[in-house]
Amino acid sequence: MNRVNTIKLHRLIKSLKKEEKRFFKLFTKKQKRKEEVFYLKIFDYLDKLEVVDREKFKKKFKGVKGLSGLQNYLYKLILKSLRNQPAYQDVDAVLREGLADLAILFQKELLVEVEEKNQELLELAILHDKVFFLPIFYDWWFVLHNTRFRYANIEASDFDENTQRYEATIKALNAFYFYRTHTGKLMYTVEGKNSRQAFDAVLAIKESLPVYSPQENTYGITTRAQELQLRKMLGNVLMDPNDSYCYSHQLYEELKQQPQEVFEHCKLYYYSSLISMLNFAPSIDQMHIIIEEIESTVLKYPKNIENKNIHMHVLLGKMDIHLLLGDFEQFDQLLIDNKEKVAFIKNYSHSHYRSLFHYKKALYHYAKKEYYETLIIIDDFLLKKEVNSLIKNPSLLLKMIIYYEEEEYVLLTSLLKNLRRLLRKNELLLETEKGLIDLLNNLIKLPKQEHKEKMIAIRKKMVEQISNSPNYKEEFLTFFNYIGWIDHQIDGSPFKQLFFRHTGVIEVGEAE
């Protein structure tokens, strides 16, 4: 283990929950070292600090000999105490310890014990569908009989059965490897990008997959879950709501049928499928059903980072529902009632979700005609470098629309110049977005009575472009209904549907 510095030790101590600290103190009573008083003093000192000053730390313990070694010992002791707690004693830990036992028993030539232990571990691995461990235990069967037992009392049928099962576990592991690495490739490809930038590369990943068969699951639930996870993620990125929802629903249904031991191992896949179903639900009623399912099950588990991520998606989904229905009082109350979840999104979540949360708040204020508040939110989070183009583009376009509605043409002229230079330079705009920028650039030069004719023309062009384009080119409508906004400007049509949650529900009407 690398030498532990004070900062690293402090991070581990601060990560401990109250009950873990209490368990550690009880655990240390079993340790017999004369230095005990010193490492406990180090523990207590660092536990009280929010920020570590290494110079003050050295000064505090300057009389302690071997301070660096004590820090190493304390770090290892904390980890050892955590490993002895029930919350961290999972099946993987049992199997890893079992492998160590097998090696020791084998070296001592206790072959009967090796065979019994290996069978016990194999049954446990099969029960929990541990794709990484299963080939190892079948390999141990062959090692044991090749080198020592020489297949004494082994029937031909037993030999063939073990051979076939060993081969099946290798195939399952290869399939898991295939889907796992392709999932990694997908995430690497789209990191920091939106679908318009990564469409061709992501489509190539999708086309490299074998033909999907909903009835064939020959590799076990762990590999199957990884496959369906990848397929639904591809649907997300390619903005194919049917794929996203169907693969998520298939994963959800298959996991629900698993024994509790397997379900526990795969429950993160289960929640991932529910979140994707929520994001691509075909109706608001279905969204409510999914949210109820998530909230009724997630409360069974302790609050950890995954738990908080799940609640974050539920909160964002509820924000969508209130915006789509125009329930603005409920929108306000939702944020008031969920301060802890709001704080998590603002401070700890992925930058994409932070930006998405702020954009939804901006959209809420825009819908209430609170333009000043909208612009404050947009300007605040646009200053952050972490905001990617997926959220930045609609935010800038919303700012442009507000300036137009407020007839702030001087500010709009300046913004349009920056938009054209910044976004076109990086080739991040769709043709429809370029058309909207060109439209407003022309409108501010014309008398108000001539605006309607220009808007009718650009609307017709936009609808034609959307109708003849792949789903990902409708991406901009999922954040703001520009077609609906233009209709409102043309004839005063009610502008109630501010945005679309995904491309599968976009209805832009015919080009006139």
Q: How far apart are CA 392 and CA 387, in angstroms?
A: 6
At position 353, the amino acid (one-letter code) is Y
DSSP-derived secondary structure letter, 507: -
pLDDT on residue 1: 44
Phi, psi of 203 (to 5 degrees): -60, -35
pLDDT of 160 strictly over 60: yes
Q: Which of 88, 122, 149 is the last residue of a domain?
A: 88
pLDDT per residue as tens digits for the range 66-82: 788 888 888 888 888 88
Q: Identify which of 455, 474, 477 has the alpha carbon closest to the alpha carbon of residue 404.
A: 455
Q: Which of 37, 72, 88 is the last residue of a domain?
A: 88
- Does residue 508 contact residue 463 with C-beta atoms inside 8 Å? yes
Number of independent structural domains in the chain? 2
Strand runs (DSSP E) across 219-359, as ranges? none
Q: How far apart are CA 29 and CA 22, in angstroms?
A: 11
pLDDT of 493 strictly over 90: no
Q: How far apart are CA 489 and CA 450, in angstroms?
A: 12
Which residues have a Cβ under 8 Å from the Cβ of 499 and sit 6 or more positions away?
323, 324, 363, 477, 478, 479, 480, 481
In a domain, 506, yes or no: yes
- 511 pLDDT band (50/70/90 cuts)? very low
Q: Which of 55, 88, 121 is the last residue of a domain?
A: 88
Burial 436-467 (b: 16+ CB within 10 A, else e): bbebbbebbeeeeeebeebbeebbeebbebbe
Degrees, nearest 5: CA angle 250-319-358: 115
In a domain, 248, yes or no: no
pLDDT of 240 strictly over 70: yes
Helix (H) / strand (E) element for 344: namely: helix 339-347
In this prediction, residues 12-20 reach a mean pLDDT of 87
Both structure tokens of 43: 């523990």
In a domain, 238, yes or no: no
Both structure tokens of 256: 């629900």
pLDDT per residue as tens digits for the range 37-68: 678 888 888 888 888 888 888 888 877 777 88
In a domain, 302, yes or no: no
pLDDT on residue 24: 85
pLDDT per residue as tens digits for the range 363-392: 999 999 999 999 999 999 888 777 776 788
DSSP-derived secondary structure letter, 477: G
In a domain, 72, yes or no: yes
Q: Mean pLDDT over all residues of the chain? A: 85
In a domain, 31, yes or no: yes
Both structure tokens of 263: 């379900």
pLDDT on residue 248: 94
Q: What is the distance of C-alpha 505 from the center of its chain?
A: 24
Which residues have a Cβ under 8 Å from the Cβ of 393 and sit 6 or more positions away?
423, 428, 429, 433, 476
In a domain, 244, yes or no: no
DSSP-derived secondary structure letter, 3: P
- Does residue 344 contact residue 308 with C-beta atoms inside 8 Å? yes
pTM for this entry: 0.75
Q: In the chain, pLDDT over 70 holds for what percent of residues?
A: 89
Task: Say which residue the tokens 């708040």 belong to.
Answer: 361
C-alpha torsion sign, points 191, 192, 194, 197: negative
- 193 pLDDT band (50/70/90 cuts)? low
Containing structural domain, residue 473:
386-512
In a domain, 321, yes or no: no
